[in-house]
Amino acid sequence: MRFYNHQHPYYCGIDLRVKTMYLCILDATGQVLVHRNVPSTPAAFLETVAPYRDHLVVAAECMFTWYWLADLCAAEHITFVLGHALAMKAIHGGKAKNDKIDSHKIAALLRGGMLPQAYVYPAGMRSTRDLLRRRLHLVRKRGELLAHIQNTRAQYNLPECGRRLAYPGNRDGVVDHFLDPSVRKSIEVDVTLIDQYDALVNDLELTIVREAKRHDGDAFHRLRSVPGIGKVLGLTILYEIHDITRFDRVQELAPTSGAKMGNVHLKWAFSEAAVLFLRHTAEGKKRLARLEKTHGKGKALSILAHTIGRAVYYMLSRGTVFRWRRSSRRSGERVG
């Protein structure tokens, strides 16, 4: 965890909301200079900090409303620090809590060099990263519909369809498996929605690939050297990482199983990469089998996902491609 510890004459802590934000500005001695609630608009912010802006550092917690404030500070050449929400909760948690108190605590943490930092993702690539996350949301919704069809079939103890319903051509006639009119209607709705999700996801992927011309081509091709990592999954990992140097240690990119810290989208991507890795390499299946003997099936797959994350870290850090490595005593197996 990185802490912002640069010294400035003035420190501004902001408790940011959708319509309003509470600002607290402290001087180097900790004296409160400004402490007020203002509208969440660029004009109100710039007017409030105007007397101090040349020597000011601004901090806000990493909530869903921070984009516009970070971009405004960048455009106005004001130093901006994004606070790590989970770490800040552990530091400034207390019984007395409101916007006024929180803004002062953020400013005090900033002044004292104790504000844990989150990564301020660059605006130029942020929208494409968010589009990739939106695609993942749609893919999960589509998966829920496919699971509902299979669960309904099992509820009525009907024969299996025999083909993977994930493919559009295999869904023809699936409604006819169900005799009850109400059940048939429910499955018909599922199939219709799945078809719509297919069209939306395909369109999103075309847009993502078109917009992704700004990414690091060399890093992207190195990621594609991992068996099972295709175009979209490779772009997801690349855009979630953005700059590998922002991770001081490999544990920050690929935290151990069950750790609360870490990027949930990267965790999912490495888990998905592990499943696809097994489909594309016989060596991976052999190593998973050896891990299962020691750790069990579920834990073994988590270890494989973790080690793929470690491999990606070292590949991008060293500018190398994927390769097998000798066994690690700690995890049982290692790649990268």
Residue range 106-144, pLDDT digits in tens: 999 999 999 999 999 999 889 999 999 999 999 999 999
- Pure H helices in the chain: 42-49, 67-75, 85-92, 99-111, 123-155, 181-211, 217-223, 231-241, 250-253, 264-280, 282-295, 297-318
pTM confidence score:
0.83
pLDDT band at residue 332 under the 50/70/90 scheme: very low
Least confident of 18-27, 159-168, 234-243: 159-168
Q: How much is the pLDDT for 330?
A: 44
What pLDDT score was predicted for residue 260? 60
- The predicted structure's pLDDT at residue 98: 86
The three-class DSSP label of residue 33 is: strand
What average pLDDT is seen over the chain?
Answer: 88
Structure tokens given for 161:
């369809």
Copy the structure tokens of residue 220. 């992207």
Question: For 205-218, what is each residue's pLDDT tens digit?
Answer: 988 888 776 676 78
Confidence at residue 334, expressed as pLDDT on a 0 to 100 scale: 47
Between 3.20.10.10, 3.30.420.140, 3.90.550.10, 2.40.10.10, what CATH number should domain 3-116 receive? 3.30.420.140
Check if the beta carbon of residue 281 is closer than 8 Å to that of residue 229: no
pLDDT in tens, 240-299: 999 999 888 888 887 655 556 678 888 889 999 999 999 888 888 888 899 898 898 889
List, in sequence order, every residue forming a beta bridge with 59; answer none if it has no partner.
Answer: 13, 81
Extents of the domains making up the chain: 3-116, 123-213, 215-318
